[in-house]
């Protein structure tokens, strides 16, 4: 697959074709829902989970909508998969924004008809190279948006990430009040202390990531319990190993958080390789379409 393509209203276009109405509420007000997933060995990974979360987001944002858009998205994804046969068998990622169709320049919108498109493109060069994290300046707050609602406005995360990269870091870790751990810019976070694995509990302000959920299920199958709770900065600084998870990259190890270097990552007793291997085997059982 050599370029990004867009599935829009039952046709496939290049990523550079002008397609979206200038009154689109995503452009005007940042009002979009979305999900991102990848294919794994030519099929969509955790598709049902992604669509269920998207459906819940629609029910929260647009409770009067009849959800027919979910069935339309399933058909479109099947068409994209069919088109991918021309992409030399390479796996790819998709992003599915969902938005209110707009016909007027108005902040308040009563129309409940939903539109969507699918952006499909090559997977980034995913490596297991360990990441360096720094703490974000912004404090995450609980807000009104439930953890299962994935909104398209990532402006603050992008600003934080740009600043982090200027300092030589790869990503940022957001904290909540009282230095409680939240999440990274586009990932959930896990850490290990001795024989226990920890991840922050899901609250408003922290996305209920699909890969996070699936990794917890995967580890449970291996009799490895993940402890959920209100963990703080001191907890993760004293960890033996740290990982981040998202739907495109899967599991990525962390080698440094601010001044703390996680040397255990390179030791014989590191859990990283076996955790990654467990997860790959788990993914083999849950590809759809």
Cα Dmax for the chain: 62
Q: Model pTM?
A: 0.93
CB 217 within 8 A of CB 282: yes
* β-bridge partners, 246: 250
As averages over each run of 10 residues, the pLDDT of the chain (289 residues) reads 80 82 83 94 93 96 89 92 73 92 75 87 77 96 93 95 97 95 97 96 94 97 95 96 95 96 84 93 83
The reported pLDDT for the residue numbered 127 is 64
Burial 249-277 (b: 16+ CB within 10 A, else e): bbbbbbbbbeeeebebbeeeebbbeebbe
d(CA 206, CA 208): 6
7: nearest Cα among 95, 80, 115: 80
Q: Which pLDDT belongs to residue 278?
A: 95
* pLDDT confidence of residue 66: 82
The full set of domains in the chain, from first to last, is 5-122 (3.30.470.10), 131-288 (3.20.10.10)
């Amino acid at each position: 697959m050599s370029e990004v393509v867009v599935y829009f209203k039952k046709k496939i276009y290049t990523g550079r074709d002008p397609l979206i109405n200038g009154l689109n509420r995503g452009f005007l007000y940042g009002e979009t829902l979305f999900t991102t997933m990848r294919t794994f060995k030519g099929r969509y990974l955790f598709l049902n989970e992604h669509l269920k979360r998207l459906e819940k987001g629609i029910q929260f944002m647009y409770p009067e909508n009849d959800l027919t858009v979910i069935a339309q998205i399933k058909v479109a994804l099947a068409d994209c998969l069919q088109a991918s046969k021309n992409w030399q068998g390479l796996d790819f990622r998709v992003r599915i924004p969902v938005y209110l169709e707009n016909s007027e320049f108005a902040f308040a919108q009563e129309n409940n008809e939903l539109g969507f498109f699918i952006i499909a493109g090559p997977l980034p060069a995913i490596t297991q190279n360990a990441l360096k994290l720094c703490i974000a300046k912004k404090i995450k707050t609980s807000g009104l948006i439930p953890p299962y609602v994935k909104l398209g406005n990532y402006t603050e995360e992008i600003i934080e990430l740009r600043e982090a990269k200027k300092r030589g870091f790869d990503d940022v870790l957001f904290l909540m009040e009282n230095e409680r751990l939240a999440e990274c810019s586009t990932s959930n976070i896990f850490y290990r202390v001795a024989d226990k694995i920890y991840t922050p509990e899901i609250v408003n302000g922290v996305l209920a990531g699909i890969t996070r959920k699936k990794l917890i299920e995967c580890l449970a199958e291996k009799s490895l319990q993940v402890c959920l709770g209100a963990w703080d900065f001191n907890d993760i600084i004293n960890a033996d190993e740290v990982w981040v998870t998202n739907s495109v990259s899967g599991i990525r190890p962390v080698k440094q958080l601010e001044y703390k270097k996680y040397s255990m990552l390179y030791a014989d007793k590191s859990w990283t390789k076996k955790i990654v291997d467990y997860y790959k085997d788990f993914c083999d059982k849950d590809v759809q379409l």
